Amino acid sequence: MFHSGLLPGVVAALCLTGVSGAALAAPPAPAAEQERHFTPDERTNIAVYEAVNRSVANINTKATVPSGLFLLEVPSEGAGSGIVLDTSGHVLTNFHVVENAKEIQVLLYDGSSHQATLIGADPATDVAVIRVAAPPEVLVPVTFGSSSDLRVGQRVFAIGNPFGLERTLTTGIISSLNRSLPTRTGRTIKSIIQTDAAINPGNSGGPLLDSASRLIGMNTAIASRTGQSAGVGFAIPVGTLGRIVPQLIGKGKVVRPDAGITRVYQTDRGLLVAALAPEGPAERAGVHGFRVIRERRRQGPFIADFERVDRTGADVIVAVAGQPVKTADDFLSVIDAHNPGDQVLFTVEREGHRLDVPVILDAEQ
């Protein structure tokens, strides 16, 4: 006997209109009709996530830390995120995610876990490349975009593993460009992207994407007093990554150019050259630094050796490659934009005159 839970009159009315009990559940809407339920913004969100989430890895590490007289291996669950670069298994992440790690485990989108090895690292920019021995079919490389034409207000997307929650999508805008971010090595990373997309612990090393699902940066830090997202996140631009990553894969490190200037003093006019590396590029080119003058003086029955520093003939660097430099960081940023072997013009003030000195850069040792 059929029990509908409805009054007999209601059942009769439904039958009279040709609606049976089996027809009460509406059939699924066609895919095109379902798509109409999403706004254009929602469709963009979905498209970016579906295109890139398989390119994001979850990185867990074990590090050795001192504890009294012993060294303990401490797991760091959900340590950070990574970006799959190619089907050979290279994965991009932050150096601080894998720093001092004795063991690195990478969890891919299909749930498979693989041990990784460190291929190369650049602490000066907080960038590292690791490699996993995973089948090519589970390695989905990200598509590189450009960071040279970004605009404040542009919509961006971050995918990562905040608090170990795999492949989480957050959205926001570019809040500012050309920020500077100091690193523990004393250098400053230039052209940093600032975003209000939520970035939390575990997002480090994950991708920052544009609306075309292209990589425009790698999330690296947040400004927060609590350690959680406060709406101010930072990403290393893909232009910087494009210069660093090939060197890390090929050489294991970044070979930077060196001008052979070891110490400068900041002045109102520019950088006063204090010391040069012996036989270095700047000295070979004729750049002048402080002169150490050695003298012998008689003191009673003894003859003593003295040294004094003559600063009068030292050059003041006012520009490098046509770009004004006022701080040591300005100087390093211009030099780092070149390669070993490049010739760079140093504009200096010497004894009241301004002249250009061509300097051929060496490789930093």
DSSP 270-324: SEEEEEE-TT-HHHHHT----EEEEEEEEETTEEEEEEEEE-TT--EEEEETTEE
The reported pLDDT for the residue numbered 22 is 39
Domains and CATH numbers, the chain: 52-138 (2.40.10.120), 155-251 (2.40.10.10), 258-363 (2.30.42.10)
In the residue annotation, 362 being an active-site residue is answered as no
Q: What residues are paired with 234 via a beta bridge? A: 194, 221
At residue 10, the pLDDT reads 34
Q: Residues of 228-266 as b/e, b for ≥16 C-beta within 10 angstroms?
A: ebeebbbbbbbbbbeebbebbbeeeebebbbbbbeebee
Count of C-beta atoms within a 10 Å radius of residue 111: 8
Spell out the residues 6+ positions from residue 122 whose beta carbon is closer than 8 angstroms to its own.
95, 128, 244, 247, 248, 253, 254
Cα–Cα distance measured from residue 140 to residue 130, given in angstroms and rounded to the nearest whole number: 15
Which residues, including other chains, have CB under 8 Å from residue 187's CB and lie 6 or more apart? 124, 125, 329, 332
- Of the residues 55, 147, 204, 213, only one is catalytic, namely 204
Beta-bridged to residue 349, according to DSSP, are 316, 354
Residue 126 known to be catalytic? yes
Pull the structure tokens for residue 97.
Answer: 């995610």
Instruction: Name the amino acid, one letter, at 33.
Output: E
Annotated catalytic, 122? Answer: no
Q: What was the pLDDT predicted at 8?
A: 39
Q: Show the CA angle centred on residue 100, arms to residues 84 and 168, nearest 5°.
A: 35
pLDDT at position 327, please? Answer: 85
The catalytic position among 96, 114, 213, 229 is 96
Mean pLDDT by 10 residues, the chain (365 residues): 37 35 47 69 92 92 64 58 95 91 90 94 92 94 91 93 77 89 74 86 88 93 55 86 92 90 91 92 93 73 72 92 88 86 94 92 85
Integer angstrom CA distances of residue 126 from 53, 223, 309: 23, 16, 38
Contacts 24+ apart (CB under 8 A), 358-363: 358/285, 359/259, 359/260, 359/281, 359/282, 359/285, 359/287, 360/281, 360/284, 360/285, 361/257, 361/258, 361/259, 361/281, 361/335, 362/257, 362/258, 362/260, 362/280, 362/281, 363/255, 363/256, 363/257, 363/258
Per-residue pLDDT at 128: 95
Which secondary structure element, helix H or strand E, spans residue 155, and what is its range?
A: strand 155-160
Structure tokens at 206: 């994950």
Q: Which of 122, 126, 210, 315 is catalytic?
A: 126
Rounded CA separation 146/241 (Å): 11
3-class SS at 1? coil
pTM: 0.71
What do you get for the CA distance between the two ends of the chain, in Å?
A: 90
